[in-house]
């Protein structure tokens, strides 16, 4: 399996995505913003499709649109986050726009499949450099802001009273979610970002770990899903995205069972 360069590249890319998805997903689930991340990945799809149409890399379009949308959501946090209808409408509009862009692409079928369901085996070794830079930047940014972000997530009124800038944290955090979604979409595709970003984090929280351990465990579980999915894909000749999604469900169900047995 490791004799092939595309497999080695895929394993490294999966590692980088899991490294980011653990801590970012942990905060997403804690803050009850899982659905917002789903919407961001769909907006990223529209950006990626538009970038392809203009002859630019899909990843660039995905990243820019997701980050800008995340910052916009953060600035309008009270009016958007947690509003199911608003997020659902944005999500639908983004998918529609993406479909329109793909309609004008001659190679639309392959591009659409890669964007929607991921193409981890198609990641080029040269793009690992950028994935690595983004992963380190994203995790470093989150590490710097994780204390006030945790405070603001758990007790927003008290955090505000203590001088924590809630709006700034919303904007910065959702920008990081945009970056993480872009990275994750390379592995799982737009439609399955949820499985790598949210499932491991939700399982980690369910197991009752504290913040530091919880984020590390979420990353470890995401890595288990991503690498496990790659291995199973190699063995079964089925898409890695399918196996990652399946392992995500298994991980969460197992964590739920363990928590239940421990009486949590």
Partner 1 sequence: MSIPAIEAEQLSVSYGGRRVLDQVSFAIEPGSFVAVLGGNGAGKTSLFRAILGLTIPEQGYVRVEGQNFGKGRMPVGYMPQMRRMVAGQLSGWHMVAAALQGRTWGLPWCSARARAEVDAALDAVDARDLAMRPVMSLSGGERQRLLLAQALLDQPRILLLDEPLASLDPARMRETTRRIYDLARERRLTVLFSTHDINPLMGFMDHVLYLAHGKVLLGSVDDVMTTPALSALYGAPVEVVRADGRLFVVADGGADTLHCCDCAEHTR
Residues 6+ apart with CB under 8 A from 189: 114, 115, 116, 117, 118, 119, 241
* Residue 29 host element (H or E): helix 5-30
- What is the C-alpha separation between 41 and 27, in angstroms, rounded? 17
Out of 61, 70, 74, 148, which residue is the one contacting partner 1 (CB under 8 A)?
A: 148
Which segment (7-15, 56-64, 150-158, 241-249) binds partner 1 by CB under 8 A?
Answer: 150-158
**264 part of the interface to partner 1, by CB under 8 A:** yes
Which segment (64-72, 141-149, 180-188, 244-252) binds partner 1 by CB under 8 A?
Answer: 141-149
Nearer to partner 1, 34 or 108 (CB): 34
**254 part of the interface to partner 1, by CB under 8 A:** no
**1 part of the interface to partner 1, by CB under 8 A:** no
**238 part of the interface to partner 1, by CB under 8 A:** no
- What is the C-alpha separation between 75 and 114, in angstroms, rounded? 31
Out of 32, 110, 125, 257, which residue is the one contacting partner 1 (CB under 8 A)?
A: 32
**257 part of the interface to partner 1, by CB under 8 A:** no
Cβ 222 vs Cβ 25: under 8 Å: yes
Nearer to partner 1, 97 or 146 (CB): 146
- What is the C-alpha separation between 172 and 174, in angstroms, rounded? 6
**75 part of the interface to partner 1, by CB under 8 A:** no
Nearer to partner 1, 103 or 162 (CB): 162
Measured at the CA of 10, the angle between CA 51 and CA 144, to 5 degrees, comes to: 75
Other C-beta atoms closer than 10 Å to the C-beta of 248 total 28
**164 part of the interface to partner 1, by CB under 8 A:** yes
Instruction: Report CA-CA distances (Å) from 205 to 10, 78, 121, 139.
Output: 28, 25, 31, 19
**261 part of the interface to partner 1, by CB under 8 A:** no
Out of 88, 96, 122, 208, which residue is the one contacting partner 1 (CB under 8 A)?
A: 208
Measured at the CA of 253, the angle between CA 189 and CA 118, to 5 degrees, comes to: 10
**152 part of the interface to partner 1, by CB under 8 A:** yes
């Amino acid at each position: 399996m490791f004799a092939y360069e595309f497999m080695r590249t895929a394993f490294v890319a999966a590692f980088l995505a899991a490294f980011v998805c653990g801590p970012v997903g942990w905060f997403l689930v804690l803050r009850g913003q899982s659905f917002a991340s789903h919407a961001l990945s769909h907006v990223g799809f529209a950006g990626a499709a538009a970038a392809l149409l203009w002859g630019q890399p899909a990843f660039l379009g995905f990243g820019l649109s997701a980050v800008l949308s995340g910052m916009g959501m953060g600035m309008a946090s009270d009016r958007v986050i947690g509003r199911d209808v608003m997020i659902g409408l944005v999500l639908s509009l983004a998918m529609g726009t993406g479909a329109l862009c793909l309609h004008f692409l001659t190679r639309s079928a392959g591009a659409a499949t890669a964007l929607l369901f991921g193409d981890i085996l198609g990641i080029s070794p040269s793009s690992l450099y950028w994935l690595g830079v983004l992963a380190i930047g994203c995790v470093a940014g989150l590490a710097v802001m994780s204390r006030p972000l945790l405070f603001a997530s758990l007790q927003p009124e008290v955090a505000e009273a203590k001088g924590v800038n809630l709006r700034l944290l919303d904007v910065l955090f959702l920008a990081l979610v945009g970056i993480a979604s872009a990275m994750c979409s390379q592995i799982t595709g737009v439609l399955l970002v949820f499985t790598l970003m949210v499932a491991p984090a939700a399982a980690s929280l369910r197991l009752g770990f504290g913040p530091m351990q919880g984020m590390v465990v979420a990353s470890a579980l995401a890595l288990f899903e991503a690498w496990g999915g790659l291995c199973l894909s190699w063995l079964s000749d089925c898409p890695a995205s399918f196996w990652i999604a399946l392992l995500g469900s298994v991980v969460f169900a197992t964590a739920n069972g363990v928590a239940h047995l421990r009486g949590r």
